[in-house]
Amino acid sequence: MRNLTPEQFREQVRNGVFTGPTAGVCDGFVQANLAILPKEDAFEFLLFCQRNPKSCPLIDVTDLGSPVPRASAPTADLRTDLPKYRVYRNGELTDEPTDLNEYWTEDMVAFLIGCSFTFEEALIRNGIPMRHHEEGVNVPMYRTSFDTIPAGKFSGPMVVSMRPMGAGDVVRAVQVTSRFPSVHGAPVHIGNPEEIGIRNLASPDFGDAVPVREGETPVFWACGVTPQSVAMHTKPSLMITHAPGHMFVTDLKSEQLGVI
Amino acid sequence: MRNLTPEQFREQVRNGVFTGPTAGVCDGFVQANLAILPKEDAFEFLLFCQRNPKSCPLIDVTDLGSPVPRASAPTADLRTDLPKYRVYRNGELTDEPTDLNEYWTEDMVAFLIGCSFTFEEALIRNGIPMRHHEEGVNVPMYRTSFDTIPAGKFSGPMVVSMRPMGAGDVVRAVQVTSRFPSVHGAPVHIGNPEEIGIRNLASPDFGDAVPVREGETPVFWACGVTPQSVAMHTKPSLMITHAPGHMFVTDLKSEQLGVI
């Protein structure tokens, strides 16, 4: 799966051949979080993303009623090309389908939001190891005391992901991820978790805890779980997302997102 | 005016003391283009900006009905704090008021879009002279063969501004402006104007021609005139903008917009 083109990979997903999580597929291509909302909520959600680009970096937004992400994957269909979806009605998870054929309507707008896979690749290429990969678990994520900037009904705390590293790697991690503002960009905090309202690194709000070793510094990035967490909180009549880890694979190469 | 704080400057504008163009005021602070649209057009225009960040970099978008740009100048009022406005009905210029007290309604959304003053400051600090400043004229702007990515009714060609420079300055100009994606960022083209559909540098579509000297390279940046030009083309029932050169001065320092 690592060496398939995104188009080949999405065809396998569409035909039901591939049904698992997408970590590691289509090496070097950008994967994205999915959020689908009805038109009535789309303007405010778009505004929310515009105001909170660190947590909600938009990769692509579809035309009203179109399931085609024209800027990031013009041959794709967002109704069928993710391995698994989640359907929420009034904030409650009601279904986990493998396609959206029975849910999609002409009234929907789909948002593709940058995900941390892209900047993790860049960190690894720079020799900075990812503890959660070594441990074979999900990255730990925490609600913080940073408030997002509200837009209409959408508001709530920023969620961050945490990666511990040796003090010698911290400066390089800032430099490397600053190149990629459309996949969360530079860290939002370095060091003491209490400064941003995190009481205990061993108890993440989402994902899994990882060990932070003696002398290591925890580094925190804005996380793509933020918009989902915020949207759920508002209990929209209908919201559809990717299932955790089951992302959309775009035609964009990660390096194309580097601003310099 | 150069040494006023933005708050002091906006007070002078609000009280009718200052009525001129804003070039050079409030040294080091970000100035922005203004576009105001009724709610019915706001979602598509926001989507258009999201899809065309080089020409339409959003600095701030107000809440529906609020004239306060909370992220960029929370004490400001966009109805009174620009020296001059333009009101267009169905694409026709109908008024050039000095405040919007008789036009503003609860149905409006205001968009603040990055402007080239910020990256020009950065170029000048790096020793790269601006020909149009030397000549005391407006920067030359041209319609190009680059299409913007449409969003609903909004579509049309990208407009660019052109600055000629010695070949030795071109690489540095790319580096310096790449730091500032929210004020148009890196150039969109370097060199031969015909490659991007410009027949004659001496006949700009907007602004004034400037001499390009022997051995100099023309360098082209996406221009904030693009969204106005595109919006006018669609003839929205009502659109309000700043009058050319009469920008909004935010509380943001130019350096704060640097992504690295």
Which pLDDT tens digit goes with each residue over A52-93?
Answer: 999 999 999 999 999 999 999 999 999 999 999 999 999 899
Only one residue has tokens 């959408």, namely: A154
- Which amino acid, residue B245? G
The residues, any chain, with a CB within 8 Å of residue B11's CB and separated by 6 or more, are none
Q: Please state, in angstroms and rounded to a whole number, the distance separating the CA atoms of residues B119 and B181.
A: 10
Q: How far apart are the first and last CA of chain B?
A: 29
Average pLDDT, chain B: 95
User: Residues B250, B69: contact at Cβ < 8 Å?
Assistant: yes
pLDDT digits (tens, 9 = 90+) for A154-163: 999 999 999 9
Res B228: pLDDT: 84
Chain B nearest-CA distance from A148, in A, is 11
What is the model's pLDDT at position B231? 82
Helices (H), B22-162: 39-51, 117-125, 131-135
pLDDT for position A101: 95
Which domains does chain B possess? 6-115+230-257 (3.40.1640.10), 117-226 (3.30.2040.10)
For an interface test with B, give the residue of A41, A50, A119 to mutate (most B CBs within 10 A). Answer: A50
**Among A45, A47, A56, A175, the residue to mutate for chain B (most B Cβ within 10 A):** A47
* Cα distances (Å, whole numbers) of residue B132 to B140, B221, B239: 8, 14, 29
Do the Cβ atoms of A144 and A198 come closer than 8 Å?
yes
The pair of structure tokens assigned to A196 is 């941003």
| Of residues A258, A3, A169, the one with CA closest to residue B259 | A258
What pLDDT does residue A260 have?
Answer: 81
Average pLDDT over residues A255-259: 90
Sorted by sequence, the CB contacts under 8 Å of residue B13 that are 6+ apart come out as: B19, B80, B81, B82, B83
Confidence at residue A191, expressed as pLDDT on a 0 to 100 scale: 97
Burial class of B92 by CB neighbour count within 10 A (0 to 12, 13 to 18, 19+): exposed
Q: CA of B150: which chain A residue's CA is closest?
A: A63
Reduce the DSSP state of residue A193 to 3 states and report it: helix
Residues in chain A: 260
The share of chain A scoring above pLDDT 70, in percent, equals 100
> What's the mean pLDDT in B142-171?
95
pLDDT of residue B122: 93
Q: Answer for the pair B156, B229: CB distance below 8 angstroms, yes or no.
A: yes
CB B52, CB B111: distance < 8 Å: no
Asked if the Cβ–Cβ distance from B47 to A51 is below 8 Å, we say no
State what percent of residues in chain A have pLDDT above 90.
91
For residue A175, the surrounding DSSP H or E stretch is helix A167-178
**Chain A residues touching chain B at CB-CB below 8 Å:** 42-43, 46-47, 49-51, 58, 61, 63-64, 70-71, 149, 151-152, 175, 178-179, 181, 185-186, 259-260
The pair phi, psi for residue A219, each rounded to 5°, is -120, 135
pLDDT for A40:
93
Give residue A1's pLDDT.
Answer: 86
- Residues B210-256 pLDDT 10s: 999 999 999 999 999 998 888 878 889 999 999 989 999 999 999 99
Residue pair B247/A166 in contact (Cβ under 8 Å)? The answer is: no
Closest C-alpha to A103, from A126, A117, A125, A86:
A86
Question: Of all residues in chain A, what percent are helix, strand and coil, respectively (each to 5)?
Answer: 25, 25, 45
Residues of B in contact with A70 (CB under 8 A): 149
pLDDT for the residue A121? 92
Task: Note whether B47 contacts A50, CB cutoff 8 Å.
Answer: no
ipTM: 0.86
In order of A113, B151, B184, the CA distances from B112 in angstroms are: 23, 18, 13
pLDDT-based confidence at B260, cuts 50/70/90? confident
Greater pLDDT, B1 or B158 = B158
Q: Do A71 and B63 touch (CB under 8 A)?
A: no
